[in-house]
Structures are given as structure tokens and as C-alpha cells.
Chain A
Amino acid sequence: MSLQTNFDVIIAGAGSIGTPTAFFLAQAGFKVLVIDSRPSTGQGSNKHAIGGIRATHSDPAKILLCSTAIDIFSHWQAEYGQDIEWRAGGYSFVAYDDVIEKTLKDLLDMQRGLGLNINWLDRDAFLELVPDINPASLRGGTYSPEDGSASPLKASFAFHQEAARRGAVFQFNENVIGIETKAGRVQSVTTDKGHYSTHCFINAAGSWSAEIGRMVGLDLPVRPDAHEAGITEAVQPMFSPMIVDIRSRPGSSNFYFYQHPTGKIIFCVTPNPQIWGFLDKDTSAFLPLSSRRLIETMPKLANCRVRRTWRGTYPMTPDGNPILGEIEGLEGFLLATGACGQGFMLGPGVGQLLTHLIQGTLFEQERQCLHSMRLNREWTSMEKLK
């Protein structure tokens, strides 16, 4: 345990959300402790993320948070020095039929209204952007050039380093086992290695956050949803945006992939039906399934070689949006979880938002964002661009 036992804020989870949150809080002068049960930063779900970062969502709150995140990721190296492999390669949702074309086009006005730089490319323009996309029955697709990608592990390590430099304490291989409250207020946190006083606790434990919620009698609707991803050998640059194909196919409800600056293709599917649970063993279905989708979307990749696959979990919520902010009846207990596989791209935005919340310096848009992402919501809306 840490020698220091009194903290302004204690964060459970040194992952995609916990590390940037620790950084912004430490930068704002708070005494921060981050506790994680794993041996180093980002070893829960962060390292399984493929690195895509987009502001192109259908929910205004997520657009706000991710726009903030892009601003932070894109300036990180210039400001703090670490190369987190940020690249503004853009995102493209591709359409091969009327329904998907309409779904994508219908969102454009709202997205532009929220300041997003996003356009519709017709078939020819799209083929110019991504010459190797399968042209057969291609309609076109969106293109949001300011979206991009970065290395989840390098970024969370950079947040960790900079947070630590500003006094944040990181305790690894340590498990939160209890959160003590008094008169409706957080008092202290007990781990398997020690006991720490604080009046502010942030549950940023992602897929594992429901377990921490139960320590204060909270039933968090966050469930682990298993996903697999893969990476190929490095080949010469072929295309820059993340390509998202939201067509449903047997076994998968979508498919997305991009070419990393090193030349490797990184790909992922959303299994259909979803597979619930803390499952980390590779399935026999994933390689054939994702290979078929790679060939279907970009036939040239048939000759590329897959190098590695892996599996991790999304902390899923009923509506596909995160759960953020304070809860009723327990002062000092904050939520920053349920990112539904978007924790990496949301992380810096969430970190800054919670810092403003704790500082008491929220601006109006942030207040609205917290309102729509509160725990006590209706769970009716649904993310359209999963």
C-alpha cells in the first residue's frame, strides 16, 4: 500500500478512463490515488482496444466528450513529449445498401450542427479516398477526417507518467474490497493491502465496476460483453480512415478495421448475438469470420497475413452510452464507467469533465452531458453508430 493514506480523490481502475482522470485531477492540484488490481497501467480492457478515436457519434454528449479527447490526443506529443501514435486518419462509415446509406445520411445534419467535420462521399469520391474498398454495389460513405487513432497502451502509460509526475500515486496489484460511508458520504476505501481516507471516490473499473458498485449497495447496469480483435503483418500504406461496415453478417453485426501508421491492419467485429461474460479465450469462429469480412470489404487483404488475435470485454450498458457523474444518496461516490468499448476515445473527455465536476467549474454543455449520462436515466435511446 501507499505510505500516504489521505487523498482528495481515489480512483478505482488504471485504465482508459482512470489514467486520464488521474492526470487531469493531479494537474488541477488534487491529491490522487489510483488503485488497480493488475500489475501495470491499462492491463484490463485498455490493452484490448484497437485504438480508434472518433467524435462521430449519434449522441451529443459523446460527441462533446470525444471532441475534447481528440483535442487532447492530437496535441499530446507536442505538449508532453510522449509519442502516443496519434494519427488523424479519419473515420468512414461505408454504405452498400439504401438502408445504411439513409441511416448514415440522416445523422449528418445533427453531427454537423454539433460542429463535427463530416461529409458524405459518393461512390467515386469514396473510391478515391479508399481505392481498395470493394467497389461492387458500393454507394459511398461518410468521411470525418479529424477522427483518428492512437495507441491505447502508450496513451494510458503517458497519462500515468504525467499524472505521477504531478503527484498522483498509483497502487498496482491492489484490490478495493470496501468503501466506507458515513451519513451518506464517502469516508474511506479499504483494499487488500491497506486503508485510505477520502471524501471522493471514482469508480472507473470498467467491466469490473458493477462489483465495486455492490460495495455501496449500488446495482450498476454494466455487464462484460466479450469481443475479439486481430492484427495483420505490416504492409505498404493502402488507406487512412477507420472503415466501419455496419452490415450484419452471420455471427457479426458489424466489422471495422484500419491501417496503423506502421502498416498493420487492425480489425474487430461485434459478435451477433452478443457474448456476455468475462471471456478471454480466443474463439475458433473469429478468425474465419473476420477473414471473410476483410475479404468482402477489401478483397486485396486476402493476401495479407494475420499476425495475432486477442479478446477482451466491453463494459456494456443497456443503451450503449457511458454512466458518468454523481449518484443520488451517496455524496462523493462518482461513476466513470460503462463506456461500452469506447473508453479509450472517451477517457480524456471524461477525465476533464469529472475534474471540472470535482472543482465545481462545470460549464453548461458539460452539465447537460452529465445529465444525459447519469445513472438514473431511462435507457431508451440507442447508439446508432456502434
Chain B
Amino acid sequence: MAKSTTARGLIFIVRELIGELLYFPVWWYSHGLVLTWRSLFGQWLRLLNRLSLPILLKTMGRPMYGDYTRSGRIISFFFRILLVVSKSLVLGFWTAVLIVVMIVWIIGPIISFALLARQLIPIQF
């Protein structure tokens, strides 16, 4: 039993320490990447929905607040343009943030590892 315990203990340590460490980059760039992409894309869709940009674009030609008068239509058109531009800016900003997060996910481990290696290994550039 003691031998078996030692063997099992070793297997556990190998699996937990070495196996897990080796699997970390594999997971990060496969399953983890997909999960992160789905999460970020989901957030982007929710943002799009919240800003109602597709609806605004679809109703571009329709007057606002049911005001079908000539002046109402003109005011609506320009106000809609203003809305679309402002909301596009918000969407653009958050899209950029989400893209940065995605990029950080992709290059984060590589950069960190490279810079750690640079710290540990004396290489002259």
C-alpha cells in the first residue's frame, strides 16, 4: 500500500504541477480563447442592443415621436444623425476596449514570458 501511495502521490504531483503547467498554454490558446471571444462578442452584442443602433438606422427616415409635420421630419432627420454619430462613437470606444482585451489575451502570456526570459537570461540587444 505504501508503495502504491508513493506512486499515486508522484502521479498526482506530476499531473498537478507539470501536467497542469504544460496544459496551461494549450488551454489558453484553444478553449480559453474561444471562451474569451464568446464572452467579449456577447458583451459587444449587448452593447449594440443597448445603444439600439440597428433600430436607429432602420428608422432613419421616420420622424421622431410621431411628429409627421414637415418641420418635425427635418428636425428628426438631423437629430437622428446626431444620435447615430454619438452612439457610434460610444460603440467605437467600447469596441476598441474589447479588442484590446482580446489582444491582451492573445499576446499577454507571450509578452510576459518573453520579458521574464529577458530578465532571467542575460541577452544583449
Are these two chains actual partners, yes or no? no
Residues of A at under 8 Å CB distance from B? none
Residues of B at under 8 Å CB distance from A? none
